[in-house]
Every structure is written in C-alpha cells, then in structure tokens.
Amino acid sequence: MTTIDSDNRLTRRSLLHTAVLGAGTVVAYPLSALAAPAAFDQWRDQFRAKAIARGISDEIYTRVMGRIEPDMSVFAKLRNQPEFNEQLWQYINRRVSDWRLAAGKEALRKYGDLFTRIERDYGVERGTLLALWGVETAYGDPLVQKNHMTPVFPSLAALAWNEPRRRAYWETELINALRIVQKGWGTPDEMRGSWAGAMGHTQWMPEVWLNLGIDYDGDGRVFPFGNPDDALGGSARYLISRGKYQRDQHWGYEVRGGGGGNKSYAAWAAAGVTRADGKPFPRPNDKAQLWTPVQGGPTFLLGPNFYAVRSYNPSMNYALAIVHLGDRILGGAPFVQPFPGSERAMTLAEIQEMQTRLTKAGFDTGGTDGRVGNGTMKAVRDYQLKAGMTPADGYGGLKVLARLRQ
C-alpha cells in the first residue's frame, strides 16, 4: 500500500490542462503534462499492443489513453519526497493526535454498524481499520480528495513510460487501472489519487482494488471512494489475505520485562513479563515476540496482527502508530513508559495556536486546523532554522510553541 498521510502532505496543483477521453467525458490533467517529450507519443502507441495482449479492449485503450499526456511532475516527487528525520515518539505523536482521536471517535459513531458488520464477517478489529482510515485519508475527508489528489492515469502513464527502475511494476499498475475502467468500476475522472496512483479512503493501488476489493455495499461495483463500505471491507480482506490477520487476537501489548523468542503469553508471563497496565493477558495461549524499538522506551509483545498491519506499509513505526491510534480511539491509554527525551503530544488547541503563530510570522503552514503534515513540518523547520533552534527537525512540539510565544 502507498501511504498518503494526508494532512497537508501533498503539493497542491491546479488542474488546468484538459483532454477529451471519450464522448462526453472530459478529465482535467496537470499543467505539468504539457512539458512531455515527443517520445511519449511513440511509447503510448507501442504500449497499446501490450495492453491489448493483456486483455484491454482497443476501445478502452483509446478512450483512456488516446489523448492522454504524462504528468511530468511525478518524477520530481519520486526523487524528492520530503524527508523529516523524526524520532519514533515524534512520529507517533504526530499521528496519534487530538484531531485524529476526536475525528476517529466521530467516524466510529457514524459508521458503528459498518464496523460491527466487518468484525462479524472478517474478524478485523474496528480500531485497526479506523486508524488505517485516519492515517491514510483523514477518515475520507473530502478536502483530501479536493486538495491533494489528482487523476491517476497521467501519473501512471508517466511512470510506466519513463521510470526505468520499476518500469514493469508501473506498466502492470497502469494496465490494472485500465482493467478497472473496463470492468465499469471507475471512470478516469473518478480515479483520483496520489502521484503514485493510490486511491480512495484507504489508498489502494490499482492491483489491490482489482484483486482484493469487494462490493461491500452491494451497488454492483467495487469503489473505494464515496461511502466507505467497499474501502473498509476490502481493507479488512487485504489484512486477512496479505497480512494473515487472526480473528479475535489483539495486536499485542505494552509490557515490562525482557527476553527473546516467539512464545505464548503464558510463557512470557511465567518468565516475568507483565503488561505495563497490570492487567492479565486475555488469551494466554496466543504467541508473541518481544520488541523494544528504542532503548529506555516502552517494550511490546507483538502478535501476528501487528505484522498484518505492517503488511499494509512495511514500516514497524507505521504499524505501531496504527495499532496505538486504534487503541486510543477505543478508549485506551497512552503508553505507560515514555520514550527517552520525549514531549507529551500537544493538544488540538496548542497545535492550532502554533500553526497560527507560525503563519503570522511568515511561515505558512497551509492551514490552522490542528492537523500536522508536511506543510506544517516544513514551516516549523524553516522557523527553527531562522530562530537558531537545534535540531531543526520540523517537529512542532512544546519547545517550538514556547519559543513562538516569546
């Protein structure tokens, strides 16, 4: 899965260049597409044969690809993705934020029946799906689609044509996207996503949409936009199929103690490892392994469902943030053992105050809604550099707020 951690992360771009893709269908394409070298036309004509050999009709290819131009901006995004060297506690504080907790609880209130149905049908905990949804697209916030998503066909065409390191992958994803149109599940103008082609509430690449998506709302097509039924039901299916998610097992627990190996919670308890909150392990025969991500910080016993979440994005930090956010939305407490050198997470009001003060000082955060993404982090880093604060890491925490208040 490609992750969009949406909150201000992607560059806003106006969609000014249009191309007619079929009778009555007009799709907006990025202005950057106008800079396409002439060689693209030759590639597009040659790629038609490859697409047809893999089951795409000539009519669909002409409709989608006949007048398309590549989005040349994807190459800069591919090679110059923003890098912020966050410590783990900063990474988690930014994702397990007041805004995400409040919005997650509201999403659960609104879609409680849907999560109950998914738990019954697939056994995937609602907290896990809520957290994935919250981190990937801010619970389907329409502003994410409006401000951060662009048509995926120009992006995928550019990558399939001229990204040599993974050309076979991008070619396959472009053909998968064409298959989605051919199935009638989506139209080119509906298929908007990140520069890499991830789409919908839970950011599916075309291959995932095509092979693991489900028509969970019964409307006759698999569609990860609009109401969240298909996206959340399909993501539960993904966690089971690709991640081997285990029904009725929790992802794991913060613990005290040490040791090695993959053994039952009962065996861990016998070896002196206890839950940090003092509660018993509810399923003592389930197996887990010990992980201390940062020496001196919290230690965890991780069961198979932690690694199921990691299948969604191959990062231990991502998986920890997801499972912790899910627990917190459902009423769980912060970690008992703090990370070394960590600050407490700022409140929503404090983040909004920081964003407001930064913007007034000439460091535009891209909004003052309490969501911290790359826009806010860049503004923080620029302010830190100007103020002589070290490290200039882009983390907008209590120290930055205190300095802004001076």
How far apart (Å, rounded) are the C-alpha atoms in residues 18 and 293? 48
pLDDT of res. 343: 94
Distance (Å, whole) CA 69 – CA 155: 9
- Alpha carbons 229 and 222: distance in angstroms, whole number: 10
Identify the pLDDT of residue 30. 42
Residues in the chain: 406
Question: Is 86-149+202-249+304-343 in the same CATH topology as 1-85+150-198?
Answer: no
Mention every residue, 6+ apart, whose C-beta is less than 8 A from residue 216. 229, 230, 232, 233, 234
Q: In angstroms, rounded to a whole number, what is the distance separating the alpha carbons of residues 319 and 234?
A: 19
pLDDT value of position 14: 25
Residue 33 has pLDDT above 70, yes or no: no
Amino acid 142: pLDDT? 86
Those residues with Cβ within 8 angstroms of residue 180's Cβ, 6 or more apart along the chain or in another chain: 186, 191, 206, 209, 210
Q: How far is CA 214 from CA 121, 152, 231, 241, 332, in A?
A: 12, 21, 8, 13, 31
Residue 43 CA to residue 56 CA, distance in Å, equals 17
pLDDT in tens, 62-106: 999 999 999 999 998 887 665 567 899 999 999 999 999 999 999
Residues above pLDDT 70, as percent of the chain:
89
User: Which pLDDT score is estimated for 23?
Assistant: 28
The DSSP element (H or E) to which 151 belongs, if any, is: strand 150-151
Q: How many CB atoms lie within 10 A of CB 9?
A: 20
pLDDT tens digit sequence for 73-82:
999 888 766 5
CATH code of 86-149+202-249+304-343, in short, is: 1.10.530.10
C-alpha span between 61 and 331 (Å, rounded): 50
For the chain, report the end-to-end CA distance as a whole number of angstroms.
Answer: 43
- Domain 1-85+150-198 sits in CATH 3.40.50.720: no
Would you say residue 1 has pLDDT above 60?
no
What is the residue extent of each domain of the chain? 1-85+150-198, 86-149+202-249+304-343, 252-302, 348-405
Task: Assess whether pLDDT exceeds 60 at residue 3.
Answer: no
Q: For the segment 319-363, what is each residue's pLDDT rounded down to a tens digit?
A: 999 999 999 999 999 999 999 999 999 999 999 999 999 999 999
- The bridge status of strand 299-302 relative to strand 252-256 is antiparallel
